[in-house]
Amino acid sequence: MRRAIFPGTFDPFTIGHASVVNRALTFIDEIVIGIGINENKNTYFPLDKREQMIRDYYRNEPRVMVQAYDSLTIDFAKQVDANLIIRGIRTVKDFEYEETIADINRKLTGIETILLFTEPELTCVSSTIVRELLQFGKDISMFLPEGMEIPPADRK
């Protein structure tokens, strides 16, 4: 069985993230969406809300699980018996960063990383930009997977 993790902060989970997961499901048996806990990051939404939004979105897809973790990504992969890491790439800068991490992860554990390039129409979508739009009261629905809603009262 091919089980992969898709790690990230997912603050919030965007149409770009959903695209990576849905495309990976065409060749991966199970995906664990790993929400990394990073105390140094100032997140917009609390962890439990991010977990719940993603779980609700994939509630009818039994091959997708959601779990938070506060360790190295490779340790989390071992913990959930994943033999692959899935990452999305939007730009050359993303590629260079992810290539370095993938090389280190493979050297340390033998776990391979699969890089999926973002669909061209989604390259401008990033959680950072979506958070900024939210902070200024803008409608972000076009950047969220269809059916995923974020009520303003659920912010940190």
Mean pLDDT across the chain, nearest whole number?
92
Tell whether the model's pLDDT for residue 37 goes beyond 70: yes
Q: What is the mean pLDDT of residues 92-118?
A: 95
Classify residue 81 as left (phi > 0), alpha (psi -120 to 50) or beta.
Answer: left
The structural domains of the chain, with segments of one domain joined by +, span 3-143
Annotated binding-site members: 9-10, 17, 41, 73, 87-90, 98, 122-128
CATH annotation of 3-143: 3.40.50.620
Of all residues in the chain, what percent carry a pLDDT higher than 70? 96
CA-CA distance, 84 to 82, in Å (whole number)? 6
- Write down the pTM of the prediction: 0.92
| Confidence at residue 38, expressed as pLDDT on a 0 to 100 scale | 81
Tell whether the model's pLDDT for residue 108 goes beyond 60: yes
CA-CA distance, 55 to 64, in Å (whole number)? 8
Say if CB 3 and CB 78 are below 8 A apart. Answer: no
Model confidence at 152, pLDDT cuts 50, 70, 90, reads low
Sheet holding 30-36, edge to edge: 64-69, 30-36, 3-8, 84-89, 112-117
CA-CA distance, 145 to 19, in Å (whole number)? 9
Annotated binding-site members for substrate: 9, 41, 73, 87
Residues belonging to the active site? 17, 41, 90, 127
Continuous segment of H or E residues that includes residue 18:
helix 15-24
Tens of pLDDT, residue by residue over 59-98, are 999 999 999 999 999 999 999 999 999 999 998 989 999 9
Tell whether the model's pLDDT for residue 153 goes beyond 70: no
Say if CB 99 and CB 126 are below 8 A apart. Answer: no
* The token pair that represents 35 in the structure block: 């929400």
